[in-house]
């Protein structure tokens, strides 16, 4: 189904390590509005979509979100490269070092582990696509917060790329929602129920 290219979708670079900023960025790895949640949400929801086009959009965006998770992982790794336990402790992230060293783990910025509660799938295409649009807006806002939280121009460039992709995904989901609504109306269906 997938063809994996051994390169990031966008080059990830940092000016210098910054463990304190890495602690914030990790939320897009395993936080409620992060890339893991998005990829799993979309790749799961695609099965209940009523059209091939809607299934394809969810598959395409879901796989791209996996690429974004890879970019976030690379960014966190570069921000922590060469850091020792004292650096992690100084950044208020000593628990990360104690449990994972410099290994990545799916958490938010407060250290709360990822949970399946972050994703939704009701099986109703209109509800799910509306949820997807909201998820993209929350991710967009989080990227804006992260961009404002650093002075590193290279890290900002990566985050701006990801921000732009959230905007595009929101637009694609909006177009798909319109098409699915038209499809359901044409079948005399609404919200999964036949209208008599």
C-alpha count within 13 angstroms, C-beta hemisphere, residue 141: 8
| Residue 65 marked as a ligand binder | yes
The residue to which tokens 């990227």 are assigned: 143
Looking only at the bridges linking them, the beta strands covering 189-190 and 193-194 are antiparallel
| Residue 152 marked as a ligand binder | no
Q: Distance between CA atoms of 26 and 92, rounded to whole angstroms?
A: 13
| Residue 131 marked as a ligand binder | no
| Residue 169 marked as a ligand binder | yes
Which of 22, 31, 34, 193 lies closest to 123 in space, CA to CA? 193
End-to-end, the C-alpha distance of the chain in Å comes to: 39
Which of 105, 106, 104, 100 lies closest to 37 in space, CA to CA? 106
Return all residues near 96 (Cβ < 8 A) that are at least 6 apart: 23, 88, 105, 107, 111
Burial environment of residue 7 by CB neighbours within 10 A (0 to 12, 13 to 18, 19 or more): exposed
| Residue 183 marked as a ligand binder | no
| Residue 101 marked as a ligand binder | no
Q: Which residues are annotated binding-site positions for Mn(2+)?
A: 35, 65, 68, 136, 169
Q: Which residues are annotated binding-site positions for Ca(2+)?
A: 60
Q: Which residues are annotated binding-site positions?
A: 35, 60, 65, 68, 136, 169
């Amino acid at each position: 189904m997938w063809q994996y290219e051994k390169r990031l979708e966008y080059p990830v670079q940092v000016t210098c390590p910054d463990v304190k900023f890495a602690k914030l960025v990790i939320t897009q790895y395993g936080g409620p509005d992060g890339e893991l949640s998005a990829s799993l949400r979309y790749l799961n929801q695609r099965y209940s979509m009523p059209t091939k086009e809607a299934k394809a959009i969810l598959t395409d965006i879901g796989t791209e979100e996996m690429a974004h998770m890879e970019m976030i992982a690379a960014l966190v790794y570069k921000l922590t490269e060469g850091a020792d336990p004292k650096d992690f402790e100084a950044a208020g992230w000593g628990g990360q070092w104690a449990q994972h060293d410099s290994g990545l783990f799916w958490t938010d910025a407060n250290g709360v582990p990822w949970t399946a509660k972050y994703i939704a799938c009701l099986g109703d295409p209109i509800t799910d696509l509306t949820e997807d649009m909201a998820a993209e807006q929350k991710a967009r806002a989080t990227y804006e917060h992260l961009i404002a939280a650093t002075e590193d121009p290279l890290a900002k460039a990566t985050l701006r790329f990801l921000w732009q992709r959230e905007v595009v995904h929101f637009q694609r989901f909006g177009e798909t929602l319109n098409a699915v609504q038209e499809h359901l109306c044409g079948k005399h269906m609404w919200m999964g129920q036949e209208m008599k």
